Amino acid sequence: MDRSLQVVMMYILTHLGLIFFLYPANIIESTDQGHWIPISLGIIIHIAFVLLYLKGLSFFPGRNIITIYSSFGKVYLILFLLPVFLYFISAAIIIVRAYSEILTIIFLANTPLWALMALLLFIPLFLSIQGVQAIFRTGILVSFLFLPFLLFVLIVSFQNVDVSYLYPIWNNDFSFITKQSYINSFFAISGGFLFLGFVQPEISFQRKKIVIAFAAVIPAFILSVYIPLLTFGKATAETFVFPFVLALDTIALSWIMFDRATVFFLLSLITFIMLFITLVLWKASIIIHHSFPSIKTGYIVAALTIVIYIACLLIPNWQQVQMLFKWNSVLRFYVLFTVPLSICFLGHLSKKKVY
């Protein structure tokens, strides 16, 4: 049956989770003015590759990329799927580690990191064992519960905005492309959409409806950068590790019993991140399951979780996390470019064979 809504929701939720924490600082750091230029470049790349990916997938109705690659031989499997797998594992490690650090910094100063990392892994473990359909159903339920919050907070976040910070609009300096911080910003751009190729045949969706998801994700990209920029100005915003979080902290709503109502916003984003980790675990587990069909997916997920947890424990500090971001960018770009392109290419190839 058509589960486009579930797929669209999952797409939106995971991207929202990825965007609001690290992306703003990366973009703000990458250039001095005209931040919309790097943002739109990122968005364009994102949309282009998602569409390419979807186009490629449309040549193989009802199949996921694992079966597509394996039908073309082992070489493709190793060339494309192995990096994807490694990317997933490294992304999971980085996300769990980074987000638990974020949580201690902005919110839970007294909770030990290992406990937070355990939480960020335990719930995804529990969910990913239940299978892909459960993951997507959770997405729907969670979006019903938490998205209204998000919408509300995004609206009130304009409270302290000063439009004059928009200027100067144009910037002739395109050096941001080579900056590490801009490259890091692709974490939010490239990480979330690969699941579209994994969910079939269990969950089928219409390609056109993914475009709806763009409509929600694109404003998120823009707002996440421009709300802190317009609140603090570039010079101040640049000094923060989490500019968006701080911008939300400036909101004062006298009619709510909470002083930091925005905390709920941030924490619901954390649940979206859990959803993202779940997806990553599940994707990694079915890749392994494809190679070793005799092992139950439950055991694979559990083993992966333990590996990721140990790896997270081994990372001592934030600098190391930044380092990992850097190392991970090679894999990130490889996956971002090769997977959609190769799927599209293979699609054309198989189409020619038919005729």
Partner 1 sequence: MNSLIKEIKDSIGENDDLLFTEQQLKDLSVVLFGLNSLIDLGPTIKQLEQLGQKNYSNKEKQKQISQLGEIKRNAGEITSLLLDGKLMIAPSPNADFVVSVDPVPVKLNRAIDQITNENTMLGPFVSFNEDSLTNIGVMRKHVVSEKIRVKHFLTGTHNKKELSLIYYEGIVEENLLQTVLKDIKRNSINDLHSIQDVTKMLGITPYSIVPRVKTTEMPSEAAQSLLNGKVILFLDGLPFALILPSVFADMFFLESDKNLTYPLMVSLRSLRIAGTLIALIFPGLYVALVAVNPEVLRLELALSIAQSREGVPYPAFIEIIIMLVVLELIMEASVRLPKSIGPTITMVGGIILGQAAVEAQLVSNLLVIVLAATTIANSTVVGVQNLLSIRLLKYIVLIFSSVFGVLGILAGVFFICAYLAGVSSLGVPYLNFKQSKGDGSHG
Q: What is the distance between the alpha carbons of residues 142 and 10, in angstroms, rounded to a whole number?
A: 10
Distance CA 56, CA 69 (A): 12
- Pick the stretch among 32-40, 81-89, 261-269, 324-332 that binds partner 1 (CB under 8 A): 261-269
Tell whether residue 267 is a contact of partner 1 (CB under 8 A): yes
C-beta separation of 251 from 261 below 8 A: yes
Asked if 185 contacts 191 with a C-beta cutoff of 8 angstroms, the reply is no
> Could you say which of 264, 318, 334, 337 contacts partner 1 (CB under 8 A)?
264
What is the distance between the alpha carbons of residues 301 and 278, in angstroms, rounded to a whole number?
A: 10
146 binds partner 1 (CB under 8 A): yes
Choose, by CB under 8 A, the member of 271, 322, 329, 350 that binds partner 1.
271
Binders of partner 1 among residues 99 to 138 (CB under 8 A) are 103, 107-108, 111, 115-116, 119, 123, 126-127, 130-131, 133-138
Residue 268 binds partner 1, judged by CB under 8 A: yes
Q: How many residues does the chain have?
A: 355
**Min separation Cβ 117 and partner 1, Å:** 12
Choose between 132 and 237: whose C-beta lies nearer to partner 1.
132
Instruction: Identify which of residues 73 and 112 has a Cβ nearer to partner 1 in the complex.
Output: 112
d(CA 103, CA 101): 5
Determine, following the binding rule CB under 8 A, whether residue 187 of this chain makes contact with partner 1: no
Which member of 260, 298, 311, 337 binds partner 1 (CB under 8 A)? 260
Which amino acid is it at 31?
A: T
DSSP-assigned letter for residue 204: B
Q: How many CB atoms lie within 10 A of CB 65?
A: 27
Identify which of residues 175 and 206 has a Cβ nearer to partner 1 in the complex: 206
Q: What's the chain's Rg over C-alpha atoms?
A: 20
Q: Is the CA virtual torsion 286, 64, 82, 184 positive or negative?
A: negative
Interface residues toward partner 1, by CB under 8 A: 1-2, 103, 107-108, 111, 115-116, 119, 123, 126-127, 130-131, 133-138, 140-142, 145-146, 204, 257-261, 263-264, 267-268, 270-271, 274-275, 278
